Amino acid sequence: MKQAVWGGMALGSTIGEMLPSLWGADMFSFSSVILAAVGGIIGIYIAFNMSR
């Protein structure tokens, strides 16, 4: 379960970080940092629910 949560966090934050590049934002922009955090939280939530 622990590995699934870490994997969900990594995958979600990576996807969240890359989303702003679709509209031309930099990888270290404010929106990229915020979406990486949101993606990580969503990834943890999904991985936790799938591993139960």
Sign of CA dihedral 45, 4, 6, 2: positive
- Number of residues assigned to the chain: 52
User: Percent of the chain scored above 90 by pLDDT?
Assistant: 79
Residue 52's pLDDT band (cuts 50, 70, 90): confident
For the whole model, what pTM was predicted?
0.87
Q: Given this model, what pLDDT does residue 47 score?
A: 96
**How many structural domains comprise the chain?**
1
- pLDDT given for residue 26 in this prediction: 86
List, for residues 38-51, the tens digit of each pLDDT value: 999 999 999 999 98
Query: Is the pLDDT reported for residue 15 higher than 90?
Result: yes
- Which residue range(s) make up the domain with 31? 2-51
